[in-house]
Structure 1
């Protein structure tokens, strides 16, 4: 196994990483996971069918390798450290946003139900375990009851199969799915995290997403006539006279329309994307369709439009992970859009991401 700390110091020396003592303090914990994996024999791997039928030794060989739960405020470098972790690993590894991973799991559960499987979670977890030994999740957050009700069983099977889990989050484990429906059924998962993952806080006072050089203006507020004119000018420039029209986006046997699309650039009003019952799968499909997305009229968010605000958070997560360039007009600056009420804590991460997405050079390389 490589060393996360070596890759980190190399990045600092090359000027790609801004040195941060709080980040350096957690590097030994990341190195420890890889060292333990290198010292432990690889677990016995069975085919999904043999595992499902109970044929062979169900327990992984060798000592248990304890994973890692790295939490801290937004913009502290957790995602960057997760990238380094995946790069340093020499075992089969997957680095994936937690939201995207759970979408894949839910799709697998649907297939298992269609097969008539009584235990739908186990075969899906076994498929994952057959492909990776180290799972690196970025941004664990659980707001969907469908995810909350199966994630404990999913992790239990993965850990039984010897998969090592490393994850980042903005919250301590006890705050996951806070105030969620039927949360009592979720609490054993928190106990499982505490038992099987080392809990480490990245306690840096610096938000590394702030203070970066910005490129041309891509966030216009307030969303008035002047902002509309600026957005229209950018649209005309990006599409260069190409014929624009609605773009149908197919998602699992259904579809929704993006109001305007031309030459890889999409444009929609806030309510077109967040006022309709769209979900993570829809936004992931959208992020694969466009390289630039323009959103008009993002309002102030609060308890009065909580569902729309929640969809906006999910949309930004999908765009961020896919490196889609965002241009928007809004009622205020990102940090001032959602200042109080349920959901305001989660929006701190969204505001930080919106700031990062404004920096020069950010976005998908095409």
Structure 2
């Protein structure tokens, strides 16, 4: 038998990787209970020879769990433990923003097929929900939040169908359900969705005593010059504090139609080499996925740049702008201080690098490090991973 989530949680406490917290332990127990119910549900689905329609009507799916709490309280860690231990039903874990991007892309694709006579009907949400339900019985969402009216207007229909198909949902969020899409346009049309969540998901607040993430980063030097063995050792030590002694694992972020490889990821943090971020053809969408998916990013080996590495310089500028806008914590080993990274002549890069250097200096400050993850105009912040382990 696999160890329970509570056993895994206690194991991390015993190893000294985390501190014991009663609120976290309570959520771990709730997730364990859901895991047991999922195991029974899985057997019921597996035993039916008549397909999903009869199987899922024969046994009611368990209610999911909506866990909310302030940033850095351990929501991602607990979701990690649950997803790893969840029974072998088809399952998917994804940042909620990325999930909704996927939904809109599927709706667009359905409408294109409708134009060419490849599908019938007038309503794309139901067939899209059916396709999602075929792919996963368990959906785990990091950072469940709603700020976009296009999302808000389809969530009721989408989730009604998902729940009717027997899909079980587990989600983390920084706000309770009643604050989703708060002050949003036409919110009255969104309110029935909240009733659906209350019916199909239990709600639990993770009221931990402190921001454990900031405790792990407290006193950690974030900019190391030069990028030598000493800097690599310092970043490795910082990474172990954040990711735990296992050191994380390779992962990927799902973008529309492709995947972005992440060399190492753990507990809402990611580690890259400069070449993996800026010497390959990545663009704004890739950097946004990283910024929304991880609260902390470590980058090894940032070099000085000039006209010969203009493309790399432009990608680095875009990367830093995106991380800054999303309040991502950044730890770096570099060949020089921020204001000396660009050694080229005057031009666009010189102007843009001046802004980049200013932002990098601000990102080293205690005030910046204390900011919650996520854009200030968004309800998103904190514990996202939005990834699949590879």
TM-score, normalization by structure 2:
0.60
1:97 lines up with 2:95 in the alignment: yes
Q: Deviations over 1:103-126 (max 9, x none)?
A: 111111111111115221112211
SS across alignment from 1:119:
coil
What CA distance in whole angstroms lies between the structure 1 residues aligned with 2:22 and 2:126? 41
Q: Deviations over 1:148-194 (max 9, x none)?
A: 11122221111111111000000010100111112111111111111
Residues 74 and 348 in structure 1, CA contact (< 8 A), matched pair in contact too? no
- 1:45–1:78 Cα change, 3 Å: farther
- 1:17–1:295 Cα change, 3 Å: farther
User: What residue ranges of structure 1 are gaps of 5+ in the alignment?
Assistant: 220-229, 239-250, 254-260, 268-272, 300-307, 354-364
Structure 2 partner of 1:79:
76
Residues 72 and 213 in structure 2, CA contact (< 8 A), matched pair in contact too? yes
Residues 331 and 337 in structure 1, CA contact (< 8 A), matched pair in contact too? no
* Alpha-carbon shift at residue 133 of structure 1 (Å): 1.6
* Alpha-carbon shift at residue 45 of structure 1 (Å): 9.2
Q: What is the 5 A alignment of 1:258-337?
A: 263-266=275-278, 283-284=288-289, 292=299, 294=316, 312-313=325-326, 316=328, 328-329=359-360, 331=362, 333=365, 335=367
Structure 2 partner of 1:349:
381
User: What residue ranges of structure 2 are gaps of 5+ in the alignment?
Assistant: 115-120, 232-254, 258-272, 300-314, 339-358
Q: What is the 5 A alignment of 1:208-247?
A: 208-213=212-217, 215-218=220-223
Structure 2 partner of 1:147:
151
Q: Deviations over 1:287-342 (max 9, x none)?
A: 99x9847559989xxxxxxxx99x923x85xx99xx99999525574746999xxx
SS across alignment from 2:214:
coil
- 1:210–1:178 Cα change, 3 Å: same
- 1:349–1:89 Cα change, 3 Å: same
What CA distance in whole angstroms lies between the structure 2 residues aligned with 1:178 and 1:72? 16
* Alpha-carbon shift at residue 14 of structure 1 (Å): 2.4
Of 177, 180, 185, 1:176 maps to: 180
Structure 2 partner of 1:194:
198
Structure 2 partner of 1:30:
31
SS across alignment from 1:168:
strand
Q: Deviations over 1:95-149 (max 9, x none)?
A: 2111111111111111111111522111221122112221111110111122111
Structure 2 partner of 1:8:
9
Structure 1 partner of 2:345:
none
* Alpha-carbon shift at residue 346 of structure 1 (Å): 5.1
What CA distance in whole angstroms lies between the structure 1 residues aligned with 2:71 and 2:122? 40
Residues 338 and 344 in structure 1, CA contact (< 8 A), matched pair in contact too? no
Structure 2 partner of 1:65:
62
- 1:46–1:185 Cα change, 3 Å: farther
* Alpha-carbon shift at residue 92 of structure 1 (Å): 2.0
Q: How many residue pairs are counted as aligned between the two chains?
A: 287
SS across alignment from 1:162:
coil
SS across alignment from 2:139:
strand
* Alpha-carbon shift at residue 30 of structure 1 (Å): 0.7
Structure 2 partner of 1:248:
none
* Alpha-carbon shift at residue 217 of structure 1 (Å): 2.6
Q: Deviations over 1:217-258 (max 9, x none)?
A: 349xxxxxxxxxx8xx87xxx9xxxxxxxxxxxx979xxxxx
Residues 222 and 332 in structure 2, CA contact (< 8 A), matched pair in contact too? no
What CA distance in whole angstroms lies between the structure 1 residues aligned with 2:68 and 2:18? 19
What CA distance in whole angstroms lies between the structure 2 residues aligned with 1:120 and 1:33? 31
Of 42, 47, 67, 2:45 maps to: 42
SS across alignment from 2:216:
coil
SS across alignment from 1:143:
coil
Residues 144 and 173 in structure 2, CA contact (< 8 A), matched pair in contact too? yes
SS across alignment from 1:167:
strand
TM-score, normalization by structure 1:
0.64
What CA distance in whole angstroms lies between the structure 1 residues aligned with 2:132 and 2:49? 12
Residues 23 and 77 in structure 1, CA contact (< 8 A), matched pair in contact too? yes
SS across alignment from 1:94:
strand
Q: Which has the higher contact order (CA 8 A, sep 6+)?
A: 2
